[in-house]
A and B are shown apart, each in its own frame.
Chain A
Amino acid sequence: MRGNPAMHDLIAPGSLGAVLDLLAAEPGVWTPIAGGTELMVAFSAGKLNTPKLVSLWGIADLRAIETNAESVVIGAAATFLDLRKHPIIAAELPLLAKAASWIGSIANQSRATIGGNLVNGSPAADSSPALLAYDAEIEMISVRGSRRIPYSEFHIGYKQNALTADELLYAIHLPRRFARHKQYLRKVGTRRAMAIAKVALGATALIEKGAIRELRLGAGSVAPFPMRLLQTEGALRGKTITRETVQAARKALLVEVKPIDDIRSTAVYRRRVAANLLDEFLLALCREGSQL
């Protein structure tokens, strides 16, 4: 244990408004901490370089999961266990429920939050491929008001995101329109549980008259941040699934992904497996049922 608690200020203003006021008064000074499953690991390793932290834990506004006719709105501080327990997420957004079950362990899921997962911004973030495949939107909030952007525009670089210095990630909006979509999510880790993704692919596709009408592919660990595979989607949209289209899509993916060698895996492995996951998805599209 290498962190020194005395070297950090941690305060809990207790309300969203108070937190936003603080971020506005001292932008860039206070690091929000929700469940702490990332920041406390850095703290224990002596690598938490943020002296001031503001706790989001226990702020009900941030943890609520609400539904309306068009969307499910997930508070940024909703834990992954919250997501797993929510009946509408389980029924209509199964990829997200699945991703939630892959976060660490039960003990991690009860504290790790979807907002923390996104703001931490690892290219391997477990919730990201599903959110990309579901065309999620991110709502950000500050004393100046709130704004929404597509999740696919949230990450702008390795561990860099679109939040301004006074903004907090507030909610994730997911459209409730995937009932007829084929859905796929697979994470490749070092073991079945407690594993950081080496490669991950999430996909939703609407097939009409044998052709791919809509397609969203979200990939993890193949770029500096989780990304939509737009070129690969382009190679498939409007097409029927034949040997040729599968090969063309694979070729497009192999060019589009840019994985690296790191302590967990290699670029050459990641490229190949990402392509294999796409094949697996496309093969399954030829089968019955909407969830794969």
Chain B
Amino acid sequence: MSLKGKSKTGARWPTIRFTVNGESRAVEAPPMKRLLDVLREDLHLTGTKEGCGEGECGSCSVRMNGELVNSCLVPVLQAEGAEIQTVEGLALNGALHRLQEAFLQCGGAQCGICTPGMLMAAAQLLEINPHPDLAEIREGLAGNLCRCTGFMRIFESVVAAASEQTAEPSAEEAHHAR
């Protein structure tokens, strides 16, 4: 729920502009409001979740300017001018991203609460390292806690998605490329 647009001194909150999933957005928000809360409350993008508020569980992970960040630790002022991708931006025109497909086939999601952040971390990993080995997958996902799966099927999903990747960037990859 947005705060009323007033600071302590009665001035309006600044307008902070950034793009989310390719769309320009502008929000009036206190500069210290967490990016996580801006996404969920101001932009109604509730795919990104809060699990801990401490940057430990990764369920709030989004991609900002080509890097993976925990949105619960980003004050929205620092997102000014940023390009942000959330889980809502993974699928293209209703078609599942190959990671989403792989998670579905391999059982990478159980209760689903860690899944958005996990997908962001996996997407980030495959962007940087299209064919990671298991150690690299473990490292890439170490900041995303999953209490349901024991991680085995998440690793399998990432391997499956990586093997789907062709040498040429697909239209989907071009869409997401920075």
- The interface of chain A, by Cβ under 8 A from chain B, is 1, 3, 5-12, 33, 35-37, 40-41, 43-45, 53, 55, 57-58, 81, 101, 104-108, 110-111, 192-194
Contact of B75 among A33, A81, A106, A194 (CB under 8 A): A33
Complex interface: chain B residues within 8 A of A10 (CB) = 30-32, 75, 77
Closest chain A residue to B38, Cβ basis = A5
Interface of B is mostly: loop
A111 touching B69 by the CB < 8 A rule? yes
Give the residues from 68 to 86 in chain B that come closer than 8 angstroms, CB to CB, to chain A. Answer: 68-70, 72-75, 77-78, 80
B173 at the interface (CB under 8 A from A): no
Q: 15 A-B Cβ contacts within 8 A?
A: A1-B53, A10-B77, A12-B31, A33-B75, A40-B34, A41-B54, A41-B73, A44-B54, A55-B75, A101-B139, A108-B55, A108-B70, A111-B67, A192-B142, A193-B143
Q: How far is B77's CA from A33's CA once the two chains are assembled, in angstroms? A: 11
Q: How far is B125's CA from A9's CA once the two chains are assembled, in angstroms? A: 35
Complex interface: chain A residues within 8 A of B75 (CB) = 5, 10, 33, 36, 40, 53, 55
Number of interface residues of B (CB under 8 A): 37
B32 touching A110 by the CB < 8 A rule? no
Encode contact with A along B137-149: 1 for CB under 8 Å, 0 otherwise. Answer: 0011011100000
Q: Which of A35, A36, A106, A192 has the most CB of B within 10 A?
A: A106
Contact of B74 among A40, A41, A45, A192 (CB under 8 A): A40
Complex interface: chain B residues within 8 A of A12 (CB) = 31, 77-78, 80
